[in-house]
Amino acid sequence: MKQKPVRSLRKRLKAGALFWVTSMLLTSAVLRLGLEIGPAIALENETSSAAVAEPAGSADTRVVTPDDLKQLMSELEVREAAVESRERQIEERLKALQTADAAIEEKLTAMAEAEAALTETLAIAKSASENDLAALTSVYEKMKPKEAAPLFEAMDPVFAAGFLARMRPEVAAGIMAKLSPDAAYSISVILAGRNANVPRE
């Protein structure tokens, strides 16, 4: 009878020891799982963030550094300086062209004024010359043919023909009648040929 309690005590001790060993193993497993799950979740979050930030298939995994940014800014400044220099050159050329245009405009205006003045001077000269010829022709017309004939005889035939052409026909005929045959012939040839080269059509 005394053996039964000993056996049941042994059974209880075995069951208690087994319980305690099992409890300790479970506790250890839970502790390990708890300690390792945090870093595993953090690692998973980092991996998924990297996958979102950089699309799949991207070959360039280079990280932009502050030195890269400085170099980029330096290159941009150099390009900006070159563009500003080019703009200044273009502005200077435009100013030079505007100055040249203004100078050309002034010269054209001066030339137009000079041409107008020259035209006016020529008109005055022509008018004065015409007035002088008309006055001289009038003087020769008022002279008697025998007095005017020696003057026309001494003149160049072209010059004499010019005066005779301006005179009234009856006066010119009186002077021609008093000229020598050679002078009258030369003047007649000139008068006849004055309009020979005028176009007929």
Q: Give per-residue pLDDT as tens, 106-135.
A: 999 999 988 988 888 888 877 877 888 889
Mean predicted confidence (pLDDT) in 21-28:
76
- Reading the block at residue 117, the tokens are 């003045």
Task: Record the pTM.
Answer: 0.39
Residue 70 has pLDDT above 80, yes or no: yes
Alpha helices in the chain, H assignment, sequence order: 3-53, 66-142, 145-154, 157-166, 169-178, 181-193
What pLDDT was estimated at residue 61? 65
Distance of CA 183 to the CA centre of its chain: 71
Mean predicted confidence (pLDDT) in 83-96:
92
Count of positions (residues) in the chain: 201
Q: Residue 118: left (phi > 0), alpha (psi -120 to 50), or beta? A: alpha
What pLDDT was estimated at residue 22? 76
Domain residue limits, the chain: 65-127, 143-201
pLDDT digits (tens, 9 = 90+) for 152-191: 999 999 999 999 999 999 999 999 999 999 999 999 999 8
